[in-house]
């Protein structure tokens, strides 16, 4: 795999965060379907918007995260089951009309996908932060600045950069050890 550009990391990280926000709203709708509170027209319209946007981001991220040129090994979530949930949940009222066991099973599937999505999101957060730290060190902590240990030591930033690099190194070793990133 070629080096991943900072713009790609940042864009993908942001799309993952948006998808997670939408996915949390799907959970809210599933829980509302299990409840007895009245379902308003606004609830249903919001749920339709969430489903539409969720489907769009699911498709975009599936394409990005499975593309051979940008794929990071083992950074996946269950794309197809997410799409099944989004497509099969016609409305909150429809979900409420289903047997409770079906809605609970869907909620369980929602949870498994959520865990996987959080894993992917965390890895992209880490990779984006790592790229940012390395870019700052190479610039000496300033835009267009020269890298100088003496200048960093004088400014008091050297200690924080070394701590940041240590954290990045430990996290990188953990990602390699768990098989998420392959060298």
Predicted TM-score (pTM) of the model is 0.68
Contacts of 112 (CB under 8 A, 6+ apart): 78, 81
Quick: pLDDT tens for 2-33: 456 767 778 888 999 999 999 999 999 999 99
Quick: pLDDT tens for 115-165: 989 888 888 888 777 766 655 555 555 554 555 666 666 677 767 777 877
Which residue bears the tokens 């869907």? 106
**Domain residue spans of the chain:** 6-177
Quick: pLDDT tens for 45-92: 999 999 999 999 999 888 888 776 666 666 777 888 998 989 989 999
**CB neighbour burial string for 4-15, b if at least 16 within 10 angstroms, e if fewer:** beeebbeebbeb
Q: Are 181 and 172 contacting, i.e. CB atoms less than 8 angstroms apart? A: yes
């Amino acid at each position: 795999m070629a080096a991943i550009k900072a713009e790609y990391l940042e864009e993908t990280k942001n799309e993952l965060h948006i998808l997670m926000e939408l996915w949390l709203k799907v959970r809210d709708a599933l829980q509302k379907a299990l409840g007895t509170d009245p379902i308003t027209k606004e609830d249903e319209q919001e749920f339709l918007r969430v489903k539409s946007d969720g489907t769009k981001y699911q498709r975009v991220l599936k394409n990005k995260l499975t593309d051979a040129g940008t794929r990071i090994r083992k950074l996946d979530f269950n794309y197809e089951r997410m799409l099944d949930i989004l497509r099969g949940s016609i409305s909150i009222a429809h979900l409420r009309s289903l047997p409770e066991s079906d809605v609970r099973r869907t909620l369980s599937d929602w949870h498994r996908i959520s865990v996987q999505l959080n894993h992917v999101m965390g890895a992209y957060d880490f990779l984006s932060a790592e790229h940012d730290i390395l870019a700052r060190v190479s610039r000496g902590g300033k835009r267009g600045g020269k890298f100088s240990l003496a200048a960093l030591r004088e400014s008091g930033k050297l200690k924080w950069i070394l701590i940041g690099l240590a954290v990045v190194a430990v996290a990188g070793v953990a990602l390699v050890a768990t098989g998420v990133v392959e060298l």
